[in-house]
Amino acid sequence: MKITNLGTRDYASFYVACELYKQMSQQCHSKLGLATGGTMIEVYKFLVDLLKKNKLDVSQIETFNLDEYVGLDANHGQSYHTYMNNVLFKRYPHFNLSLLHVPNGNAVDLDEETKRYEYLINQQGPVDIQILGIGENGHIGFNEPGTDVNSATHIVNLTESTINANSRYFENEAEVPKQAISMGLSTILKAQRIILLAFGEKKREAIEKLAENEVNSEVPATILHAHPNVEIYVDDDAAPRLK
Ligand code: GLP
């Protein structure tokens, strides 16, 4: 598994935006696996710039988001639906809305929703490029430590560590949803190519564990060791310390 330090958040984000842009421009039916979180903000900013400058036709691009909080209305300020609209879909309003998929965390029947989402990815996939951030505890998507390596899209009980880390986006910790719907680890591994990004000192420990470990369910990101086409880009602060 190759971990590359690209120095700064800006360099790494621009590189990944270019890779996404290249995929979309070379294959107009591309399927992208999208992630949310602070890590991805600059990636989408650079991607929107590239799309606008080149007026790329994205009408046949299909996207699948990794996850969504349970119990938040799609229009809630902190839902991942809102995040995607704000960072990408509304800023480059030429996507076909029926091809933009985010799990519905407000579905009446959540089990049914997990099955629907997994089926959709299997039907329409495989995803060409899946981008991933990483949680401080090594989670990918919302797959918390202990998640079954064979898991499909499922409902997750968020750990204290994740609730605490994500409380920075909410008024207070009590407002952070306690559950989420997430692509499973096996769902993520179905992508053809996976690019994980990590920035900042708080992510260094997770990246070091990822670098050192074989597949270990206590650090869910280590499942990526089982995938043949994974790239990891970090900034100076998240780069693993050399032994
Ligand atoms: C969140 C999301 C992940 C994200 C990770 C890191 O909880 N579910 O998809 O990659 O945790 O978030 P951030 O980029 O804000 O640090």
Split at pLDDT 50, 70, 90, the class of 58 is very high
User: Considering the chain, what is the average pLDDT of its residues?
Assistant: 96
Question: Dihedral of the CA atoms 112, 117, 119, 121 (nearest 10)?
Answer: -170
Split at pLDDT 50, 70, 90, the class of 213 is confident
pTM as predicted: 0.96
Residue with tokens 């519905």: 104
Cβ of 67 closer than 6 Å to ligand 1, yes or no, is yes
Split at pLDDT 50, 70, 90, the class of 232 is very high
Split at pLDDT 50, 70, 90, the class of 243 is low
What class, spelled out in words, does domain 2-238 have in CATH? alpha beta
DSSP per-residue string spanning 144-209: -TT--TT--SEEEEPPHHHHHHHGGGSSSGGGS-SEEEE--HHHHHTSSEEEEEE-SGGGHHHHHH
How close is the Cα of 213 to the center of ligand 1, in Å? 21
Q: Where are the domains positioned within the chain?
A: 2-238
Split at pLDDT 50, 70, 90, the class of 242 is confident
- Closest atom of ligand 1 relative to the 169 alpha carbon: 15
- Tell whether the model's pLDDT for residue 210 goes beyond 70: yes
Cβ of 135 closer than 6 Å to ligand 1, yes or no, is yes
How close is the Cα of 159 to the center of ligand 1, in Å? 13
Q: What is the mean pLDDT of residues 103-127?
A: 97
Question: 3-class DSSP state for residue 3?
Answer: strand
**Up-side HSE of residue 61: CA atoms within 13 Å toward CB?**
24
